[in-house]
Structure 1
Amino acid sequence: MRIVLFGSSDFSIPTLKYLHKSNNQLVSVVAPFDKPKGRGKKIIPSNFSKYAIDKKYSIIRIKNFSDSNIEYELKLLNADIFVVVAFQKIPDHILDIPRICCINIHPSLLPKYRGAAPLHWAIMNGDKKIGISIIKLSSKIDAGNILKQNTIDFRDNENFGHLHDKTSKIGAELLLETIEIFKHNNLYQGLIQDNKLATLARKLKKTDYLINWSENGTKIKNKIRAFSPHPGAYTVLDNKRLKIFDVEYYDFSIDLISPGSFIIKDDQLIVKTKDSFLSILIVQMEGKNKLAIKDFLSGFKFCDFKFE
């Protein structure tokens, strides 16, 4: 099969690696223009771009699909399948280019969690099983036919980083299996999604990262897991933003303490939630490095023993 891969982020890298090692012909990679970074504003290739360059793949750079030259270049590739992983929405006139279809990896059990942040919302909602779907792209976002699906367990000691890496690799494996199906039946359509069961995993806002200590401990713990190791759920301490990356439940009882209030006990910071106590394990104060709580406590002088 002649394949063109549209990718951008680290989530796309396992798919690139698996296609590179497969018996398919990866004829080109499509990626956004790399952005300037750092104080010098130098153009630094993304990890995805670096791998494609290292393997000597031609890269078609794209800002958007309004450029007619992009459509022309893609048609010249004579691709059987376009594979799309962590990329912008593909317009209909591009979807129609490959001989068979465009397929996409989406890390949810579709039609659940359609949208930009399925893993984050699954973690925040306390899901114990996470889906990975291979779908045929259509004009409506994440609504195309399901070509292949799988589920994995999400353990209590895992966070977004673990889940991101696991689903990107499993998605790449499922993608190759789906391509094999098309080799034997290029008319394969999969299963139509039931739109009545669809839920939305909307794009995240900065306010989603803020911890509300008046919520129950489980909900707070799930939020912290959903934004770890990056960008970090946060609270406010002494008028500064404090990111929290890991917590554990703490069996404790004390009267007359309100949610968000905390105590220091045996090199531990123990904070009250609506219904329980959490021991904070890893933090990062605004403008500082990430620290284990013991190291943080040894160097921080508290003005108040309550998170805002």
Structure 2
Amino acid sequence: MRIVFMGTPDFAVASLDALVKEGFNIVAVVTAPDKPAGRGQKINESAVKKYAAEHQLPVLQPARLKDPAFLEELRQFNADLQVVVAFRMLPEVVWNMPPKGTINLHGSLLPDYRGAAPINWAVINGEKQSGVTTFFLQHEIDTGDILFSEAVDIADDETAGELHDKLMIVGAGLLVRTVKAIEKGEYQETPQAKLLNSEPKHAPKIFKEDCQINWNQPARKVYNHIRGLSPYPAAFTMLNGKTLKIYKAEVQTTPSELQPGQYTSNGKTDLLFACQDGLISVKELQLEGKKKMSTEEFLRGYRL
């Protein structure tokens, strides 16, 4: 089979690498255009582009997916199948192009957590299990017929970053299995409607306002919020008029006379914020204008 792969970040690289190592015929890679990043506005290439360049794979970087020049170039590759991992939403003219269709790898157990941030929201919501799903693309985002899925347990102290890395590897394996099944014609499609007993949980894009900590909640919920946004984009609160990002924390159920949002510290090792029913002990943080550090390191140079 002639395969065109579409993806951008590291999450997609693991899948592309797995397909290449299995000997599949990747005829082209489609990824995001280069863009300036950082203080020096240095041109930044996507992780997928860097991998493709190292393996001499043709790369397409369309600014617009409906651009006639891009569509014509894509057609020239005569793909039998298109594989999408962590890319943007495709127009029908693109996903309907190959005869065997276009498949997507999604970081959740569909139909739950459709959307842009499934890994973050699963952890934020305190889920005990997540997973990966492969499915055929259709009109509505993440609603296509399911091919295969694989569940992964979420530990009580696992961050979104740790779950991301786990799903990246499991997802790559599931994608290889899926492509092999399509190549042999040995697969069944399951409409997502058959799996729905109620309204599915959603995973919309995360904005800055989603990251601010609400201390008027139970400590466990605040804790899940912190680990669900760690390491990126990171949950934050305000400390003396500056943004304080929190990356690691622990729950303390010790009763406190502090009001939600108030903090206390011994000035050496502990920085504790009060919640509705307990305390959050901050372990790793970053104050606006400073580098990420442990709480102990922070308290050595900051006077509360």
TM-score (norm 1): 0.94
Alignment of structure 1 residues 206-285 onto 2, 5 Å: 206-255=208-257, 257-265=258-266, 267-285=269-287
Structure 1 counterpart of 2:293: 291
* Distance in 1 of aligned mates of 2:82 and 2:149: 19
**Does 1:137 pair with 2:106?**
no
1:8-64 CA distance string (max 9 Å, x none): 111111011101101210111001111112343231222221111111111011112
The answer to whether the 8 Å contact 2:6/2:30 transfers is yes
**1:203 and 2:202 aligned:** no
Counterpart residue type for residue 189 of structure 2 = G
Three-state SS of the structure 1 residue aligned to 2:26 is strand
How much does 1:91 deviate? 1.0
Equivalent position of 1:174 in the other structure: 174
Closer/same/farther in 2, CA of residues 150 and 48 from structure 1, 3 Å limit: same
1:54 matched residue in structure 2: 54
**Partner-residue secondary structure (3-state), 2:88:** coil
Q: Which residue of 2 aligns with 1:306?
A: none
Corresponding letter in the other structure for 1:25: N
Question: Secondary structure at 2:31's aligned position in 1?
Answer: strand
Residue 172 of structure 1 deviates from its aligned partner by 1.1
Distance 1:298 1:286 in 2: 17
Paired residue secondary structure (2:98): coil
Per-residue CA deviations over 1:241-283 (Å, capped at 9, x if unaligned) read: 000001112242333x211112213621122110111211001
Question: The residue matched to 2:61 in structure 1 has which SS?
Answer: strand
Tell me the distance in 2 between the aligned counterparts of 1:109 and 1:292: 34
Structure 2: stretches of 5+ with no match in the other structure? none
Alignment of 1:26-37 (within 5 A): 26-37=26-37
Paired amino acid for 1:184? K
After superposition, give the CA deviation of every residue in 1:184-240 in whole Å (9 maximum; x if it has no partner).
Answer: 217x45100016543321111210000011111111001110111122100001000
| Alpha-carbon distance in structure 1 between the residues aligned to 2:131 and 2:97 | 29
Q: Residue 255 of structure 2 contacts residue 277 of structure 2 at CA under 8 Å; is this kept in 1?
A: no
Amino acid at match of 1:202: P
**Count of residues paired in the alignment:** 300
For 1:200 and 1:251, the matched residues in 2 are separated by 30
Partner of 1:149: 149
Q: In the superposition, relative to structure 1, how do residues 221 and 37 fare at CA in structure 2: closer, same or farther (>3 Å)?
A: same
Q: Take 1:65 and 1:171, find their aligned partners in 2: how far apart are those partners?
A: 25
Partner of 1:123: 123
8 Å Cα contact 2:256/2:278 also seen in 1? no
Q: Distance in 1 between matches of 2:42 and 2:253?
A: 50
**In structure 2, what is the Cα distance between the partners aligned to 1:65 and 1:291?**
41
SS in 2 for 1:98: coil
Structure 1: runs of 5 or more not aligned: 303-308
Counterpart amino acid of residue 78 in structure 2: N
Q: Secondary structure at the match of 1:151?
A: strand
Q: Which residue of 2 aligns with 1:305?
A: none
Secondary structure of 2:148's aligned partner? strand
Given that 1:244 and 1:282 are in contact with CA atoms closer than 8 Å, whether structure 2 keeps it comes out as yes
SS at structure 2 position matched to 1:296: helix
Deviation at 1:156, TM superposition (A): 1.6
- Percent identity between matched residues is 38
